[in-house]
Amino acid sequence: MILKQFLNAKRERGFDPDLLELVQTIADATIKISRQLRVAVLHGHVGATEETNVQGEVQKPLDVIADNVFVAACQTSAAVSFAVSEEQDNEIPVSATGKYAVIFDPLDGSSNLDVNVTVGSIVSVIPAKAASELLQPGRNQVFAAYAAYGPSTSLVLTFGDDVDFFSLNADEEYELADADVKIPSGNAEFSINTSRQNLWDKPVQDYIAASLAGEGVYAKRYNMRWVGSMVADIHRIMHRGGIFLYPNDAEIAKKGGRLRLLYEANPMGFLVEAAGGGASTGLVRILDIQPKELHQRVPVILGALDEVEAVERRYAEAK
């Protein structure tokens, strides 16, 4: 089944046709980005630009290219009120009659671009007609998806019910590869940047130490994986289980965390919860956070529910 047929089936089940059309537009944008990625080295789209984004990060050429693709895609849809991007200072007004805001991390894992390691795009859709409605808790999302550009291109999406996994076929159509994906439990594997170990909150230090000592959720020594592209790390967890953490630490606490609530934590949290997993800061459910600003950062702990709950218990005990 290709994506178009999948969306048609949703239409017959009463989903908003405007939202379904928007999802097709978003999917088409990710196909355009995958094409750009394939030839980036040959087109000289490597290294850094001279621009710094609102996050304080030096932009890569593909951060900018992917952002332009998404903004242009949003501008073709009358259903879109605002496009909101990690790479833009402010929201971009699209259509005065639009009812959905599209919020995105156009290129995730951009430090991996020059070394041909999987990167991604992350998208969130919320109902919002006015700029004053952009700051909503993640539980209000009506759609979230990520594209993973790896050996193959995957599109993983949810309307909040189940999570479906599409793979780009030889005709450049997204084809359903796995329906109603659930995060398996039982995989003793964590994903965290251990170079920051000395800085982590104590409950996270204790949780990882216990996992390594064979005293974690599963009584065995844990394995570790860290791609450095959140999309790739979450995609692995969607298939294989385990836990992803970018927790609060002593250095990033003043910023609120490393990852962004609107562009990364909310859409990924929405997907992970729909796949039966957990999404927490350690202290609160990510999807219940009332955002105060577009570029707000948060601690992020995502993955198999039993693991996420184990981290939450350590935070609760430390109080």
- Write out the residues near ligand AHG by the rule CB under 6 A: 57, 86, 105, 108-111, 193, 228-230, 246
Positions that interact with Mn ion (CB under 5 A): 57, 86, 105, 107-108
Q: For ligand AHG, give the closer residue by CB, 3 or 265.
A: 265
d(CA 188, CA 216): 8
- Contact residues for 44 (Cβ-Cβ < 8 A; gap 6+): none
Binding site partner of 66, from ligand AHG, Mn ion, none, Cβ cut-off 5-8 A by kind: none
Q: For ligand AHG, give the closer residue by CB, 20 or 144.
A: 144
d(CA 228, CA 146): 16
Q: For ligand AHG, give the closer residue by CB, 98 or 264.
A: 264
111 is in an annotated binding site: yes
105 is in an annotated binding site: yes
d(CA 272, CA 292): 23
Binding site partner of 312, from ligand AHG, Mn ion, none, Cβ cut-off 5-8 A by kind: none
Which tokens belong to 177? 């590869």
Min separation Cβ 17 and ligand AHG, Å:
31
Min separation Cβ 60 and ligand AHG, Å:
8
Binding site partner of 228, from ligand AHG, Mn ion, none, Cβ cut-off 5-8 A by kind: ligand AHG
- Please give the sequence-ordered ranges of beta strands (E in DSSP) within the chain, or none if there are none: 80-85, 92-93, 100-108, 119-127, 143-149, 153-158, 163-168, 174-178, 189-191, 223-224, 243-246, 259-260, 278-280, 297-298, 300-303
Binding site partner of 193, from ligand AHG, Mn ion, none, Cβ cut-off 5-8 A by kind: ligand AHG
Can you say how many angstroms the Cα of residue 162 is from the centroid of all Cα atoms in its chain?
16
Q: What are phi and psi of 251, to 5 degrees?
A: -85, -40
Q: For ligand AHG, give the closer residue by CB, 190 or 246.
A: 246
Min separation Cβ 285 and Mn ion, Å:
21
d(CA 171, CA 114): 27
d(CA 26, CA 146): 10
109 is in an annotated binding site: yes
306 is in an annotated binding site: no
**Which has the closest alpha carbon to 99: 154, 66, 143, 55?**
143
317 is in an annotated binding site: no
12 is in an annotated binding site: no
264 is in an annotated binding site: yes
Residues at the binding site are 86, 105, 107-111, 193, 264
Residues at the binding site for substrate are 108-111, 193
